[in-house]
Structure 1
Amino acid sequence: MALVHRKFVMSAILSRFARAYSTPVQEKDIRKSVFISQSKDIFTNLALEDWLYKNLDFTNHHVLMLWQNDPCVVIGRHQNPWLEANVPALGALTDQGVALARRNSGGGTVFHDQGNLNMTFFTSRNHYNRRYNLEVITRAIFREYGLKLEITPRDDLTLRNCKVSGTAAKLGRPSAYHHCTLLVNTNKVHLSEALQKSDVGIETNATKSTKSKILNLCEENPKIKVPALYKVVGWEYLRTHALSVKDGGMELANQQKGFQMVNPTEKWFPGIEEIRDNLQGWQWRFGKTPKFTISRSFTVPEHLISQDVPDDLKVTMVVEGGKISDVNLYVPPGLVANGFSGNVNVITSLIGHKFSEEALDNLEWSLGALGSDKDKFVTDCVKQVMQSV
């Protein structure tokens, strides 16, 4: 089966661009496949998604990729990981930790674990239709379980006014994809802890996620399980006409290319390891973060007050490309042992360090010897700014 699949993949690559701008394809000439990833690794699955998008010809062959992940937070292409996720806590939330990934598509942040079913619908750009895809999902759930999901104007799926799926997409030429994740029995405690953040004091143009009430499908019907949904959603996709939401029944489904288990390895998909390495690298996950500024004010404890009405201590950091590009301290007069006060722009050793693991290692040294409680208070304030996002 692996050899047959590899031949199919290479053939699709060779013909992709030759057919991309040819005469429009008729619906009757389009065939469908359901690919099921054998990996549970978020970086591998995102790499597979990107590889298919870049290499396959979807002109007359539409593909639904079904996949699951071990616990992870997935942010959109233009988002700030420190603003969207509880970055310092992710490593300890589960036994294996929670990975943080940035995907190629836009949209908001989601939490995945093996209680989610992820779906990516690949078509040519001309045939991209996210409403069609959502209709396939809602029909599948209703046909098998009798639950009627609603499609919102924002193209989210809801049940009892709670969100059960979001949506994101990547539109290019000649291909496009739309993907979403269906909440089946995800761990809502881990989800809440992984995404629990505050944006107080942060200025940025990065896309911000919108918080919503969520619901697992199993809360409404305990019989719904992710393994069964592979078949339920897959068959609904195959039996639905390619360009219109018309049910062709099993007669149409049997004319399609069917289900294929795919192994996202270098042997099957040449070049996928390089894509995965880039997606897992710090530069993509954190270095691609849009510029942001974080400011915090701290009330000076009474036992450190040297004036009748002291000012607050203020810390402002600018982060570009995931690294600290500027730091400014406003230190009230008389607070630190070495006597500096006012706007102090001398913490140069922090500049250029990654935010925040490298910078934290150098923080105490850059603020001088911690000879007094006042010095320690200043150091703590700067550290809190870096650990609060």
Structure 2
Amino acid sequence: MSIRRTLFLGRRPSGVHQTGSCCSSSSSSCSSFSSSGGLVLRSRSTDVFLNLALEDWIDAHVDLERRGLLLLWSNRPAVVIGRHQNPWSECHLAAMRSAGVPLARRRSGGGTVFHDLGNLNLTFFSSKKAYDRRRNLEVITGALRRLRPRLAVHATERFDILLDGHFKISGSASRLSRKSSYHHCTLLHSADRAALAAVLRPSCPGIHSNATPSVPSPVANLRDHAPTLEWEELLDALAHQYNAEFGSGASPPASTLVDPADESAFPGVARAAEELRGWDWTFGRTPRFGVRTALPLEGARSARLHAEVKGGVVESCELDAPVDWLPARLSDELSGALVGGRFCPHRAAAAFSELMRTESGERRRRLHRLCDAVVSVMG
């Protein structure tokens, strides 16, 4: 049974489990499911692709004109970029690959964020008519003030939340459809800021693009300023605050555990998650960009790379290495090997390996050095 019917008939599929005070574990129905107002869901999954796919599933399948929803979720370490961003500009792909941190492109706009299990994500779902980011952020700031009255938190005109007027603890992005909307926020509870700094830096210098850039800000964790604030305490407070703001008042606050991997509850989410994992969506949807950058060779010597990339594929490329260091013919052949292929280190390395088989000795060594320099800027 779909969550649409779950919400309005009060029956739960196998992937949905009520928590909190409004239902016992043995109850097969709950009056709050069939009433209007708000409902809080908590995802069991820590897979960034499943959780992003769940957002889109709820937006597409739940009648949000009848009630709003708040989804609480967190992920294992991942970097999430906005729909219109350039991953080569936003994150260090080589460092992420080394650390086993995946990259995801969400369907909403906004900037790049680092997720881990110390970062809470909140997604506010509503009808398009009821879309109100300011009111949503008041749920977060209200919950924090009730938990720790001494925390100086406020929402900004950019729909961020600042602590002590300076440190960013929450950022926002949103997506509006014909009749529905969702607004999602991060909330830094105890995130690994060293890992965040290591991956949120450019892979490739010299990119020229109209892609949406992220706006760097100083960040802080809530635990830095409220050391006793526990994770479950925070989630419970947010659920209560959301129900106080958006609930019908017909029953006590509650949250509902959901498992996006359960196809009987959320048919199609697994397939949508696979699409979000794919290269075509993650990299191929990057707005057109150009690369103009120097490539270090040996000593003070360097080469120049000029490339145009559309849909993640190299449309044109020019490599300019010193002719007394490497014959122009080989630079031209390297350039040609890149055109028509993905702007991707694996694809470039495979193309270059074919070319290097024809060379030997010092020329092969220098060619290998130039190839390594090109591959490094691709992440």
TM-score band by shorter chain is 0.7 to 0.9
**Alpha-carbon displacement from aligned partner over 1:146-195 (angstroms, at most 9, x marks no partner):** 22311111110011201001000001110001000100000111111111
Residue of structure 1 in register with 2:365 after alignment: 376
Please show how residues 18-167 of structure 1 align to structure 2 within 5 Å.
Answer: 30-93=36-99, 97-146=100-149, 147-160=151-164, 161-167=166-172
Provide closer, same or farther for how the CA distance between residues 300 and 231 of structure 1 changes in structure 2, counting only shifts above 3 A: closer
- Distance in 1, matches of 2:339 and 2:122, equals 41
- Distance in 2, matches of 1:84 and 1:134, equals 26
CA contact (8 A) 2:2 2:265 kept: no
- Distance in 2, matches of 1:124 and 1:221, equals 35
Residue of structure 2 in register with 1:16 after alignment: none
Residue of structure 1 in register with 2:256 after alignment: 260
TM-score, normalised relative to structure 2: 0.85
CA contact (8 A) 2:40 2:72 kept: yes
Residue of structure 1 in register with 2:197 after alignment: 192
Unaligned runs of 5+ in 2: 11-34
Please tell me whether residue 240 in structure 1 is matched to residue 245 in structure 2: yes
- Distance in 2, matches of 1:259 and 1:267, equals 20
- Distance in 2, matches of 1:377 and 1:10, equals 68
Provide closer, same or farther for how the CA distance between residues 238 and 351 of structure 1 changes in structure 2, counting only shifts above 3 A: same
Alignment match of 1:168 (pick from 158, 166, 173): 173
Alpha-carbon offset, residue 374 of structure 1: 5.2
CA contact (8 A) 2:83 2:106 kept: yes
Alignment match of 2:314 (pick from 304, 320, 324): 324
Alignment match of 1:344 (pick from 317, 332, 341): 332
- Distance in 2, matches of 1:287 and 1:11, equals 41
Moved more, 60-69 or 255-264: 255-264
Percent same amino acid at aligned positions?
35
- Distance in 2, matches of 1:303 and 1:257, equals 66
RMSD between aligned residues:
2.6
Alpha-carbon offset, residue 263 of structure 1: 1.5
Please tell me whether residue 221 in structure 1 is matched to residue 226 in structure 2: yes
- Distance in 2, matches of 1:4 and 1:205, equals 40
Residue of structure 1 in register with 2:271 after alignment: 274
Residue of structure 1 in register with 2:22 after alignment: none
Alpha-carbon offset, residue 92 of structure 1: 2.7
- Distance in 1, matches of 2:86 and 2:53, equals 21
Which protein has greater RCO, CA pairs closer than 8 Å, 6+ apart?
Answer: 2
Residue of structure 2 in register with 1:246 after alignment: none
CA contact (8 A) 2:68 2:246 kept: no
Provide closer, same or farther for how the CA distance between residues 72 and 6 of structure 1 changes in structure 2, counting only shifts above 3 A: same
TM-score, normalised relative to structure 1: 0.82
Matched position secondary structure for 1:210: coil
Provide closer, same or farther for how the CA distance between residues 9 and 373 of structure 1 changes in structure 2, counting only shifts above 3 A: farther
Provide closer, same or farther for how the CA distance between residues 168 and 91 of structure 1 changes in structure 2, counting only shifts above 3 A: same
- Distance in 1, matches of 2:216 and 2:168, equals 10
Provide closer, same or farther for how the CA distance between residues 144 and 236 of structure 1 changes in structure 2, counting only shifts above 3 A: same
Specify the code of the residue in structure 2 equivalent to 1:270.
P
CA contact (8 A) 1:315 1:381 kept: no
Matched position secondary structure for 1:344: helix
- Distance in 2, matches of 1:330 and 1:4, equals 58
CA contact (8 A) 1:347 1:366 kept: no
Specify the code of the residue in structure 2 equivalent to 1:91.
R
CA contact (8 A) 2:4 2:62 kept: no
**Alpha-carbon displacement from aligned partner over 1:54-108 (angstroms, at most 9, x marks no partner):** 1111112010000010100000001111211111121332xxx211100000000
Unaligned runs of 5+ in 1: 13-28, 243-251, 305-311
Provide closer, same or farther for how the CA distance between residues 362 and 300 of structure 1 changes in structure 2, counting only shifts above 3 A: closer
**Alpha-carbon displacement from aligned partner over 1:120-145 (angstroms, at most 9, x marks no partner):** 00000000000000011000000011
